[in-house]
A and B are shown apart, each in its own frame.
Chain A
């Protein structure tokens, strides 16, 4: 019951946040340079007075601001994100087409970074002060300071251009017309480089956090008790320290979800991965504000979704939270 109330509470909060972002979006759209009607008319190829007037009326641009705001928010609630004249399609359709690719990329990168980050962090903490720990920590520090897009470019250069091991471009082999399992394997091959480069940065973040958290928890009294009971080192680490140390890492992972979506813009741009990040990049050059803001609001929704999921995971990992909340 408590869990249910908590979930409903989270959903209400998520809805209010999205509403606020929609309002912010509306004002940003209005701050965009140029009269939207003139811009629209120009993009449609006919910028005469009559056309502009017609457009104003059609899109309700002649109405007071609050009416426009209400209409805009109402539209967003119905998944209407406006129309992209550059691409000649509704923004929601453009995004729906590209969303699966982004979800595949970000989820894979998220999984890789969390699992590997925690594993490496535990390994480093177990060898604290030894050369192998120093090497792992230094590597993490280095990846933390590396621009994502540059790492991606270098990965393309080394593994795709020089070694020829993996494709460094696109989502699948164009013109190969693979089907079924073959197609899945082809997509997987294309996924490896983007997912790894996007994951590496976050892996370094989780690794550092896990290591620090493991070291901190291992100082606590119950660990001494476990030692006194005669438990082996690995058993203590796995069953006693890690279970407690992992909590801040899960919290952090939830907070980092937004970064992951932002990172997808860069990764998708470099790898020509046909996701919403790439869509945003393409719309930037064209200054297609409807699409840019559409991607923005969808990515915000994704972050809110990620946060709810981490919140639930958090409750599973630590039953104490459900009991007190």
Chain B
């Protein structure tokens, strides 16, 4: 499996980019101990004009490179944690629906369908606006709008695995249904979940940046979306201030998508390559 993954050039590029972004995020406090909010020079310095400030300064004279590094922390953290929370909601729900069937399935699926009908970005906006912007509310809002596809996927997988012979064998061996679900069925659904999770991190990063762009970011955390939102009004005079953080988002999200596709090809080699929904 790993051999297949690492023979995929796109996935390798993705891993290389992601490792770099993670490194920058982890090292941000070491490289820029003064933090991202500190004024360091006069405002509106273009990139590559002053030594020590490779990306210039923003509208308030803050170091753009430092902002970018601290923004990486927020993007990755929110992306990762919200995906984990979404999995914690979607996996049990989908597993119960697929395994127990009947009323449980009916109820769980109506619930999921309901959440899928609600426009997810609009719901995220509403949730963050009402519970006040903070890293916790943003993460939770993103998780709440991203779990339904997980539940549907896990349900479908569990339904197909449940009919296999080894599950009958486990039943004959006297295992309780719960144990069969947790120890026998769920482990066999892990690979599509991993693929979906890697793509969800990418979507979550886009969602977080969109919320911050609209002014719904955590006021105490520097984020790429906030940088673009703050530079929007000066786009005519200092376009690079909006351009640079956008590139950071595109590159990071692209890397995660490439990894997701690489994992998909490596974990499900027998499947025809499908575009994701």
CA A188 to CA B215, docked complex, whole Å: 30
Find the residue from B118, B232, B276 having the highest chain A CB count within 10 A.
B118
Given contacts A156-B235, A157-B239, contact A280 B130 (CB under 8 A): no
CB-CB under 8 A from B135, the residues of chain A are none
Tell me which of A145, A208, A209, A295 contacts B250 (CB under 8 A): A145
At the interface, yes or no: A32 with Cβ under 8 Å from chain B? yes
User: What's the least CB distance linking A52 to chain B, in Å?
Assistant: 21
At the interface, yes or no: A85 with Cβ under 8 Å from chain B? no
Q: CB-nearest residue of chain A relative to B273?
A: A212
Q: Are B121 and A281 in contact (CB under 8 A)?
A: no
CB-CB under 8 A from A157, the residues of chain B are 235, 239, 242
Given contacts A28-B130, A150-B228, A307-B117, contact A266 B213 (CB under 8 A): yes
User: What's the least CB distance linking B110 to chain A, in Å?
Assistant: 9
Given contacts A33-B132, A211-B275, A303-B118, contact A28 B214 (CB under 8 A): no
CA A154 to CA B121, docked complex, whole Å: 22
Q: Are A304 and B117 in contact (CB under 8 A)?
A: yes
CB-CB under 8 A from B127, the residues of chain A are 28
Tell me which of B215, B236, B243, B274 contacts A212 (CB under 8 A): B274
User: What's the least CB distance linking A266 to chain B, in Å?
Assistant: 6
User: What's the least CB distance linking A102 to chain B, in Å?
Assistant: 12
Q: How would residues 119 to 137 of chain B score, 1 for a CB under 8 Å from any chain A CB and 0 otherwise?
A: 1111101110111100000
CA A215 to CA B228, docked complex, whole Å: 39
At the interface, yes or no: B97 with Cβ under 8 Å from chain A? no
CB-CB under 8 A from A156, the residues of chain B are 235
CB-CB under 8 A from B209, the residues of chain A are 147
Q: Which of A287-322 contact B (CB under 8 A)?
A: 287, 289, 292-293, 295-296, 299-300, 302-304, 307
Q: Which of B200-247 contact A (CB under 8 A)?
A: 202, 206, 209-210, 213-216, 225, 228, 232, 235-236, 239, 242-243, 246
CB-CB under 8 A from A212, the residues of chain B are 272-275
**Could you say which interface size class chain B belongs to?**
35 or more
CA A142 to CA B228, docked complex, whole Å: 19
Q: Are A255 and B277 in contact (CB under 8 A)?
A: yes
Q: Of A74-82, A108-116, A256-264, which stretch is located at the interface?
A: A256-264
Q: How would residues 161 to 179 of chain A score, 1 for a CB under 8 Å from any chain B CB and 0 otherwise?
A: 1000000000000000000
Given contacts A153-B242, A296-B123, contact A258 B210 (CB under 8 A): no
Q: Are A265 and B243 in contact (CB under 8 A)?
A: no
User: What's the least CB distance linking B225 to chain A, in Å?
Assistant: 7
At the interface, yes or no: A104 with Cβ under 8 Å from chain B? no
Tell me which of B206, B210, B275 contacts A208 (CB under 8 A): B275
Q: Are A154 and B246 in contact (CB under 8 A)?
A: yes
User: What's the least CB distance linking A242 to chain B, in Å?
Assistant: 16
At the interface, yes or no: B257 with Cβ under 8 Å from chain A? yes
CB-CB under 8 A from A270, the residues of chain B are 232
Main secondary structure, interface of B, reads helix
Q: Are B214 and A281 in contact (CB under 8 A)?
A: yes
Q: Are A259 and B228 in contact (CB under 8 A)?
A: no
CA A33 to CA B129, docked complex, whole Å: 10
User: What's the least CB distance linking A16 to chain B, in Å?
Assistant: 9
Given contacts A266-B214, A289-B130, contact A145 B125 (CB under 8 A): no
CA A31 to CA B202, docked complex, whole Å: 30
User: What's the least CB distance linking A182 to chain B, in Å?
Assistant: 28
Q: CB-nearest residue of chain B relative to A248?
A: B277
CA A266 to CA B243, docked complex, whole Å: 17
Q: Are A300 and B119 in contact (CB under 8 A)?
A: yes
At the interface, yes or no: A17 with Cβ under 8 Å from chain B? yes
Q: Are A209 and B277 in contact (CB under 8 A)?
A: yes
Given contacts A150-B249, A212-B273, contact A284 B216 (CB under 8 A): yes
At the interface, yes or no: B34 with Cβ under 8 Å from chain A? no
CA A198 to CA B209, docked complex, whole Å: 17
4 other A-B residue contacts (CB within 8 Å) besides A153-B228, A215-B272: A147-B250, A209-B277, A265-B214, A296-B123
**Chain A residues engaging chain B, CB cutoff 8 angstroms:** 17, 20-21, 28, 31-33, 141-142, 144-150, 153-154, 156-157, 161, 205, 208-209, 211-213, 215-216, 219, 252, 255, 257-259, 261-263, 265-266, 269-270, 280-281, 284-285, 287, 289, 292-293, 295-296, 299-300, 302-304, 307
